[in-house]
A and B are shown apart, each in its own frame.
Chain A
């Protein structure tokens, strides 16, 4: 019998659709295994947690530029390869629909329902000029590398995706 306190940690550092998908698939499946799952979102991974209508974010022109080129939110993620200006991601989502594969957005909502903890990285939020208001609801308090390490020391599964 799986100990209910068994822990799983995923570091989600990529904002690519083809990375966000396995992050959310493994997080929900870990929760289905009764594990205490935490996903720590950092760098481009933070984009997965952005609100679709976050718009132009940050104060600095460089932060604003980042938000234009990497708008984030689950609906706007691109493929790491063969993205073709968004056409590739669109094709992939069409295929996923045809094959009844749950979308990243659906899996994200499901993970929240299943008690998966979603941690945004405070440092990258500051770097990119993102505030809590730019992010979806239901997130845990932003945290740092120290919190991630203490969690991973206790975890039986730790992944960097």
Chain B
């Protein structure tokens, strides 16, 4: 279970990345956030953002046409 959840369902680029960046700001290093998105662009945008920011993408899966990403703050 992640420490926080970002519900970005229905939102388009660039909002999933903006939302998760804002959530991570208030978190401690090592904490995790789960992002749920429906924007297909998030499939490449969230992992790219996490890698560049030094966060770890712990898990990524698709469920009922929704994309889930578990990101651990670096």
Contact = CB atoms under 8 A, between A and B. Distances in A.
Instruction: Judge: A and B partners, yes or no.
Output: yes
Interface of A: 1-2, 25, 28-29, 31-34, 99-102, 110, 114
Given A32-B14, A32-B21, A100-B11, 12 more contacts: A2-B53, A2-B54, A25-B14, A28-B14, A29-B17, A32-B18, A33-B52, A33-B53, A101-B12, A102-B11, A102-B12, A102-B14
Between B12, B13, B15, the greatest number of chain A beta carbons within 10 A of the residue's beta carbon is seen for: B15
B53 A34 contact: yes
Interface of A is mostly: loop
Interface in B43-58: 49, 52-54
A99 B16 CA distance: 14
A25 B13 contact: yes
B74 interface: yes
Which are the 7 A-B pairs with shortest beta-carbon distances? Answer: A1-B54, A32-B21, A29-B14, A101-B12, A32-B18, A25-B14, A100-B10
Between A25, A32, A34, A114, the greatest number of chain B beta carbons within 10 A of the residue's beta carbon is seen for: A32
Interface string B8-29: 0011111101101110000000
A32 B17 contact: yes
A109 B49 CA distance: 22
A5 to B, nearest CB: 14
Nearest to B14: A29
Nearest to A24: B14
